[in-house]
């Protein structure tokens, strides 16, 4: 794996760090940018988010229920210049796999498309989540209405909840850099643009599908949105070749680096949170011994 002083993940804003990556040197970008839901945006602060988070709740609202059209617009504006770096550093035919919250994934897709990527598909990481919809009884009782009126309203609501079915998937935008020539020509030149379905990690007895069932990781290593290493290995194995370079601009707890190492790929990662970067590098260091 590529490293600098045993540091596979650099503690730097990826918007600065990626400017030092050579043009057309990366085969796969596999990353999980900020969701741009409440508090989880470009001013991401892990400790601040944890301090505000209760089970299924951020800032007093069910996760994902603070609807503001500016969230998607801000996500698009944030990702657009980052995607411009992605289209520069990735090889022709190389893939981007970008995790995104289902409600805002269209904005991530637009940012990738608008810088020149071809949107190939939308994948879904399938897992068993916890129901987060809220009944309204508590809010009705806070209105301080007469008790008979309160009970009448609660009965009329019939136990209805906020519009959230149990979450069971996270979307992954699959984008591809334009090829040079045919698929064969591009492969012979860059070893990118085609996928390997011969030995998938997930559901090994089946042809890989767009819905990928993998359990959430038990250990999150201090990160609110940790991804399971088997899922990342599955994607890396299909969408890149051994010896190629995988980049994760939002490396978090280092799971992509672990997966890249296990799959025999080089790795470049960036993480702006100093403590998270140290912990992630320690994880990868242990994994390489």
* Residue ranges of domains in the chain, CATH in brackets: 9-128+168-287 (3.40.50.150), 133-166 (no CATH)
pLDDT of residue 231: 98
Give the model's pLDDT for residue 166: 87
Distance of CA 68 to the CA centre of its chain: 21
How high is the pLDDT of residue 53?
46
**Which regions of the chain are under pLDDT 50?**
1, 4-6, 39-41, 44, 48-53, 56-62, 64
- DSSP state letters, 201-232: SSSTTS---SEEE-PPPS--TT-TT---HHHH
Q: How many CB atoms lie within 10 A of CB 188?
A: 10
Task: State the pLDDT at residue 70.
Answer: 87
250-287 pLDDT, tens digit per residue, is 999 999 999 999 999 999 999 999 999 999 998 888 86
Distance CA 80, CA 86 (A): 10
Give pLDDT, residue 86. Answer: 98
Strands 53-54 and 245-248, sheet pairing: unpaired
User: b or e along 41-51 (b: 16 or more beta carbons within 10 Å of the residue's beta carbon)?
Assistant: ebebeeeebee
């Amino acid at each position: 794996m590529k490293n600098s002083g045993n540091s596979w993940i650099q503690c730097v804003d990826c918007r600065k760090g990626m400017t030092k990556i050579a043009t057309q040197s990366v085969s796969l970008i596999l990353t999980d940018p900020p969701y741009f839901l409440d508090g989880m945006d470009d001013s991401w602060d892990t400790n601040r988010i944890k301090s505000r988070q209760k089970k299924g709740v951020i800032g007093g609202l069910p996760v994902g229920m603070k609807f503001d059209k500016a969230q998607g617009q801000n996500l698009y504006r944030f990702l657009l210049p980052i995607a411009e770096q992605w289209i520069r550093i990735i090889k022709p035919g190389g893939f981007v796999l970008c995790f995104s919250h289902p409600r805002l994934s269209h904005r991530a897709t637009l940012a990738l498309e608008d810088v020149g990527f071809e949107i190939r598909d939308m994948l879904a990481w399938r897992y068993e989540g916890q129901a987060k919809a809220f009944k309204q009884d508590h809010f009705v009782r806070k209105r301080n209405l007469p008790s008979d009126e309160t009970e009448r309203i609660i009965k009329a609501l019939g136990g209805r909840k906020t519009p959230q079915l149990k979450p069971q998937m996270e979307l992954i935008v699959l984008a591809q850099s334009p090829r040079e020539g045919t698929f064969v020509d591009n492969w012979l030149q860059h070893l990118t643009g085609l996928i390997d379905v011969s030995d998938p990690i997930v559901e090994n007895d089946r042809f890989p599908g767009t819905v990928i069932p993998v359990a959430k990781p038990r250990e999150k290593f201090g990160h609110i949105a940790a991804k399971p290493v088997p899922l990342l290995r599955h994607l890396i194995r299909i969408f890149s070749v051994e010896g190629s370079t995988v980049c994760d601009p939002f490396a978090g707890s280092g799971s992509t680096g672990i997966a890249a190492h296990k799959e025999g790929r080089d790795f470049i990662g960036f993480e702006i949170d100093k403590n998270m970067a140290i912990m992630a590098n320690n994880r990868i260091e242990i994994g390489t011994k």
